[in-house]
Amino acid sequence: MRCSQAPIGIAVLAAHGLGCAAEQDAAGAPEAMLIAAGAWSPASAAEDPFASQAVELVRCSPFALRIEADWLEVDTSGCNHATLVFRFGVDTARGDRVRGEIAWAELVAPAAALGTLAFATTRAGVLWTLEVPIPSDAGSVTVDFELGADAPAGSALYFHVRNHGANNWQLSSLRVEHAV
């Protein structure tokens, strides 16, 4: 089964034609859904659950968001506060697990700072967050969190990056594994 895909709004992301796919096992039960790196689009300021954390002028060039080797990359030299949204094409349930990876190149800034990475839904709020000290060596982290509430088709999952400095953060495709 193919999931519906939110309008990307970023030409380079749309060119990849990436969305999500729900798979079924031999018995017809849903196995997992893939959220491809290109399936994210910028959240509007009105819907951004992290808007209150923007401590300075938010600037976000569309050129700061791109697909790089099937990963979504956010370049904070052109986007210091980015919240991206994915709309579920199928119903998901409380307890479903979201898994993937976030990586970054060496992190730099004029003064010591923190880079913030987070995921949230409208119904359950912030589900996963990580603060990475800047400066810092290149690194990566496994993303693994549980949906805290049912998310019917059309519901939003938000990915947030906030950073002081010119850095690059990459998000892999994510798998949504249904609770048993």
- pLDDT of 6 higher than 50: no
Which two structure tokens, joined as six digits, stand for 67? Answer: 């697909």
Provide CB contacts within 8 A for 55, sequence distance 6+.
none
Q: Examine residue 6 and state whether it is found in any structural domain, yes or no.
A: no
Distance CA 159, CA 120 (A): 7
- The CATH number given to whatever domain includes residue 118 is 2.60.120.260
Q: What are the E-state strand segments in the chain?
A: 20-24, 30-35, 41-42, 65-68, 71-75, 81-87, 97-104, 113-121, 125-134, 139-146, 156-162, 168-171, 174-177
Residue 26 pLDDT > 70:
no
pLDDT value at 39 more than 90: yes
Q: 178: closest CA among 93, 75, 79? A: 93
pLDDT at residue 3, as a whole number: 39
Residue 10 confidence (pLDDT): 39
Which one-letter DSSP state was computed for residue 37? G
Residue-level pLDDT at 30: 62
* Structural domain contains residue 1: no
Percent of the chain predicted with pLDDT > 90: 67
CB-CB neighbours of 154 under 10 Å: 12
Nearby residues of 98 by Cβ (< 8 Å), 6 or more positions away: 35, 119, 127, 128, 143, 144, 145, 146, 147, 157, 174, 175, 176, 177
pLDDT-based confidence at 9, cuts 50/70/90?
very low
Q: Is residue 131 part of a domain?
A: yes
Structural domains in the chain (count):
1
pTM: 0.84
Under 8 Å between Cβ of 85 and 50: no
Full residue range of the structural domain in which residue 77 is found: 11-177
Q: Quick check: is 159 in a domain? A: yes
Instruction: Find the range with the poorest average confidence among 56-65, 130-139, 167-176.
Output: 56-65
Q: Which two tokens stand for residue 68?
A: 């790089």
Residue 105: both structure tokens together: 């190149």
> Is residue 1's pLDDT more than 80?
no
Q: Can you tell me which residue has the tokens 């010591």?
A: 112
Residue 180: the pLDDT is 75
Summarize pLDDT for 75-127 with one digit per residue, the tens: 999 988 999 999 999 999 999 999 999 999 999 988 999 999 999 999 999 99
Encoded tokens for 95: 């307890």
Per DSSP, helices labelled H in the chain are 11-14
The amino acid that residue 174 corresponds to is: L
